[in-house]
Amino acid sequence: MKITIAGTAFDYHDYDARGDTLFLGVGGPREVLAARAYETPEGHIVEYDEAGSMIALELVNVRWSLEREGEVKLTCSEEHHVAPSSLEPALAA
């Protein structure tokens, strides 16, 4: 199952229910550090490879945001809103 956010299809996901954090990656879990990473205004972590492609996301307070706001807000180079239907399969696994 792939989850597409901001035009990037993530094929790896791992949800930490205790921390309410969803980890998403392109091509599975990475052992190599990203070339560039930064924290968004919402507190999420976005990682990019050397070519500038998004390769990983760490979304915080996912279930809380979905229940309270009805979406997860993610600001990268532009603001994105992630609908519950996009994330529910990863949260249920």
Q: Which pLDDT score, from 0 to 100, does residue 84 have?
A: 76
In 2-44, the DSSP E strands lie at 3-5, 8-10, 12-16, 21-25, 36-39
Task: Give per-10-residue mean pLDDT for the chain (93 aa).
Answer: 87 93 84 77 90 89 94 75 75 73
Q: Where are the domains of the chain?
A: 3-92
Q: Which pLDDT score, from 0 to 100, does residue 43 have?
A: 94
Q: Which pLDDT score, from 0 to 100, does residue 18 have?
A: 95
Question: Tokens 């993610």 label which residue?
Answer: 74
Q: At what angle do helices 62-69 and 84-92 cross, to 10 degrees?
A: 140
Q: Which pLDDT score, from 0 to 100, does residue 64 have?
A: 95
Q: Which pLDDT score, from 0 to 100, does residue 21 have?
A: 96
